[in-house]
Structure 1
Amino acid sequence: MNVKLVVFDLAGTTVKDDRNVHKVLQKALAKHGVTVSLEDCNDVMGLPKPIAIRDLLERRYEGSRPVTAAWINEIHKRFVEEMILFYKTDPSVGEKEGVSDTFRKLKAHNMKVVVDTGFDRQITDPLLERLGWKSEALIDGSVTSDEVERGRPYPDLIFRAMELTNVNDASQVVKVGDTISDVHEGQAAGCGMVVGVTTGAFSREVLSEAKPTHLIEQLPQLLDILEI
């Protein structure tokens, strides 16, 4: 396979995540009187967060308030504020083991590296600044859910990443992520390889049901698959 572009998810794939996103989402909903479990939140990981919030409200809210776009936006605003604060200040924030080295080796082999995410740009920029990948020229770009018409599991994020890097053939793209929606996104785009990471939101057993082309535990294992 002639790989020209590798598209990586952020939280849970390349960024350490001890269910931190789950907890912030749970807290944002609790502030509005909606109780959800961490497992409920796990079910919607990888999706654009307004869609995830709507899904959780429709499944778990037992009150009489209508689930409107305005209410979803209120909760999402709270979620964004809390995530920005977390990514700017929490000492646990950092990349998963071997990520920067993996990016360097991919780029040394003339492969473009882009990150895509279910977050919007407001959350993503502070995170990327904290990680230092942009200043160290380890990534060629980033795509967020609010920059495309449809987020995961649709292929729009990957198609945007291809536009940013002048890659025209999806069969030359590798998608890497830790959620079922990551896998479905890669499949919908027609990526030549779709790699599930089993040490994030979903277990090997659950991810395997989505039928990725490969499963790995740690990101550097991707280099073996690509024979680097």
Structure 2
Amino acid sequence: MTTMTPTPAPTDHDPRTRLVVLDMAGTTVADGGLVEQAFTRAAERLGVAPDLAYVRATMGESKISVFRALFGDEELARRANTEFELAYAELVDGGLVTALPGAAGAIAALRDQGRKVALTTGFSRTTQDAILDALGWREIADLTLCPADAGRGRPYPDLVLTALLRTGTDDVRQVAVAGDTSYDMLTGVRAGAAVVAGVLTGAHDRERLTGAGATHVLGSVAELPALLTAREEEV
């Protein structure tokens, strides 16, 4: 009888961060209350009362999921989502979208360090592209993803895992995720990212970020390149 010797699993692990997945609104892009303004406009057009408390609590989640939870009716949720996207596009066209200080420089620094960068959002592709165009950011990252590209939005891990697959990253432990909401943190944790960094430039505070699993909390995304470099030097 021949005994088969199992092939040992590889034990070597490259600790270097190869892929950085960044949120947009509140993390790299200044929100300035635009989500709440767009939601209020959409609610007015539908003749419903805007629940801004719920909108604030679910910042970072896929917008269609927010409307489904609010209205419990698929048709109304889709109508609300369409109106929201139209209202947000109006605000973008009005020149009200700006990059957060240091964001573009941070993205450039991350790529100069040899890392792939993916920009993700809870908005639709149409709205995401409008923001990228308004900022002149079409070529700033290696990849841009919205929920429709991945299957599900936050807090599911799909956006991060889709970025990993599309960039050819070998290991979830080579991924860093950064965002300003608890949903960003949950997405990173569920995807198995080694670094899940919360930033204090957006919707949620330090307590909510750490409560959702943040491994680090930064003042802004501008601090991320130095954090990743320092972390690798410690290994």
TM-score for both structures, normalised by structure 1: 0.90
Counterpart residue type for residue 198 of structure 1: L
Q: Specify the alignment match of 1:47 in structure 2.
A: 61
Q: Specify the alignment match of 1:82 in structure 2.
A: 87
User: Any residues of structure 2 matched to 1:12-91 within 5 Å, and which?
Assistant: 12-57=26-71, 67-87=72-92, 89-91=93-95
Shift of 1:37: 4.1
Counterpart of 1:220 (choices 212, 219, 222) is 222
Deviations along 1:119-170, one digit per CA (max 9) or x if unpaired, are 1101111111111222xx3200101012222211111111111122111211
SS at match of 2:29: coil
Counterpart of 1:211 (choices 178, 194, 213) is 213
Q: Specify the alignment match of 1:125 in structure 2.
A: 129
Which 5+ residue runs of structure 1 have no aligned equivalent?
58-66
Q: Specify the alignment match of 2:151 in structure 1.
A: 149
Q: Specify the alignment match of 1:158 in structure 2.
A: 160
Is the Cα contact below 8 Å between 2:41 and 2:87 reproduced in 1? no
1:99 aligns with 2:103: yes
Q: Specify the alignment match of 1:168 in structure 2.
A: 170
Counterpart residue type for residue 86 of structure 1: L
Is the Cα contact below 8 Å between 2:62 and 2:154 reproduced in 1? yes
Is the Cα contact below 8 Å between 2:95 and 2:134 reproduced in 1? no
Q: What is the CA–CA distance in structure 1 between the aligned matches of 2:34 and 2:149, rounded to whole Å?
A: 23
Shift of 1:29: 2.0
Bigger Rg over Cα: 2
Deviates more, 1:42-51 or 1:187-196: 42-51
Shift of 1:69: 1.0
Which 5+ residue runs of structure 2 have no aligned equivalent?
1-14, 231-235
Q: Specify the alignment match of 1:61 in structure 2.
A: none
**4+ residue runs of structure 1 moved beyond 4 angstroms?**
none
SS at match of 1:114: strand
Q: What is the CA–CA distance in structure 2 between the aligned matches of 1:122 and 1:138, rounded to whole Å?
A: 18
SS at match of 2:79: helix
Deviates more, 1:78-87 or 1:109-118: 78-87
Deviations along 1:42-71, one digit per CA (max 9) or x if unpaired, are 1111111111112223xxxxxxxxx42111
Counterpart residue type for residue 212 of structure 1: A
Q: What is the CA–CA distance in structure 2 between the aligned matches of 1:80 and 1:208, rounded to whole Å?
A: 30
SS at match of 1:176: strand
Q: What is the CA–CA distance in structure 2 between the aligned matches of 1:199 and 1:91, rounded to whole Å?
A: 20
Counterpart residue type for residue 134 of structure 2: R
Is the Cα contact below 8 Å between 2:39 and 2:50 reproduced in 1? no
Counterpart residue type for residue 62 of structure 2: P
TM-score for both structures, normalised by structure 2: 0.87
Shift of 1:13: 0.6
Q: Specify the alignment match of 1:197 in structure 2.
A: 199
Shift of 1:36: 2.9
Shift of 1:84: 1.7
Counterpart residue type for residue 118 of structure 2: V
Is the Cα contact below 8 Å between 2:120 and 2:159 reproduced in 1? yes
